[in-house]
């Protein structure tokens, strides 16, 4: 169990260009600056696998990493950029949606959310759309270290409650902090339940 080796494989512009889907994969997505790169680096214990960038919107490709020569971890471009043109946004959305809707070996899509924020329309709409595609989704509330020990569970419970206005059941939820290494074991165990166990029981 765990992640021992992580290597960058390739960047693709379209889902059709992604590696042959002969292994299971999980993907990570979220609004830019949510802490996606930091989380991927924390999970893989690799200081600089995914680029932590000060410039939102820099990674606009589908990045595949090979984990332990066994499964793929995919870093998807962030969504909801204010800084890119309408046309750029549309093609980015097309890339992301094409990937999620068509990638046959995608076992789980992790949608990252900043734990300090209330549910945002763009996130909820994206979750709904992904669920409609029949893709298993899970949520990761990032930057848990930014809240106090008492505020954290309250905020997570409030988020869950807000989602229950849209759904009868909440997707699986995790709390993480790349700064403090929180959530690593739980998230990896969950991924392995898909990769080795054929899904969450």
For residue 122, the minimal CB distance to ligand GDP (Å) is: 14
- Binding to ligand GDP by residue 37, rule CB under 6 A? yes
Provide the 3-class DSSP secondary structure of residue 155: helix
- Choice from 177, 183, 190, 191 touching ligand GDP (CB under 6 A): 177
For residue 59, the minimal CB distance to ligand GDP (Å) is: 7
- Choice from 3, 32, 66, 80 touching ligand GDP (CB under 6 A): 32
Task: Tell which positions 57-86 bind ligand GDP, by CB under 6 A.
Answer: 78
Q: For the chain, what is the radius of gyration of the CA atoms?
A: 16
Among the residue ranges 27-35, 94-102, 123-131, 184-192, the one whose residues contact ligand GDP (CB under 6 A): 27-35
- Choice from 12, 21, 24, 52 touching ligand GDP (CB under 6 A): 52
Distance (Å, whole) CA 106 – CA 86? 28
For residue 148, the minimal CB distance to ligand GDP (Å) is: 13
Neighbours of 2 (CB within 10 A): 11
**CB closer to ligand GDP, 50 vs 67:** 50
For residue 116, give the nearest of 93, 82, 144, 149 by alpha carbon. 144
User: What crossing angle do the helices spanning 184-195 and 36-44 adopt, rounded to 10°?
Assistant: 80
User: Between 117 and 156, how does the x/- string for binding to ligand GDP read (CB under 6 A)?
Assistant: -------------------------xx-xx----------
For residue 52, give the nearest of 64, 67, 41, 60 by alpha carbon. 41
Instruction: Find the DSSP H helices in 33-148.
Output: 36-44, 86-102, 121-132
For residue 76, the minimal CB distance to ligand GDP (Å) is: 10
Residues in the chain: 201
For residue 132, the minimal CB distance to ligand GDP (Å) is: 24
For residue 159, the minimal CB distance to ligand GDP (Å) is: 16
Q: What is the DSSP letter of 118?
A: P
Distance (Å, whole) CA 143 – CA 38? 10
Q: Tokens 């097309």: give the residue.
A: 94
- Which residues of the shown chain bind ligand GDP in the complex (CB under 6 A)? 30, 32-38, 52-53, 56, 78, 142-143, 145-146, 177-179
């Amino acid at each position: 169990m765990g992640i021992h080796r992580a290597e960058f494989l390739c960047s693709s512009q379209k889902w059709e260009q992604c590696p042959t889907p002969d292994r299971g994969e999980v993907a990570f997505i979220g609004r830019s600056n949510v802490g996606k790169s930091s989380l991927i680096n924390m999970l893989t214990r690799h200081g600089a696998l995914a680029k932590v960038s000060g410039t939102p919107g820099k990674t606009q490709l589908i990045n595949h990493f090979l984990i332990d020569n066994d499964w793929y971890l995919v870093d998807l471009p962030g969504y909801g950029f204010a800084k890119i043109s309408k046309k750029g946004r549309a093609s980015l959305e097309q890339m992301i949606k094409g990937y999620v809707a068509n990638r046959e070996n995608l076992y789980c899509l992790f949608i990252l959310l900043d734990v300090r924020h209330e549910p945002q329309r763009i996130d909820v709409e994206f979750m709904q759309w992904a669920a409609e595609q029949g893709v298993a989704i899970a949520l990761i509330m990032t930057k848990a270290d930014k809240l106090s020990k008492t505020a954290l569970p309250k905020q997570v419970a409030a988020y869950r409650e807000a989602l229950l206005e849209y759904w009868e059941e909440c997707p699986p939820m995790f709390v993480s902090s790349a700064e403090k290494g929180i959530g690593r074991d739980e998230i990896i165990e969950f991924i392995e339940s898909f990769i080795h166990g054929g899904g969450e029981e």
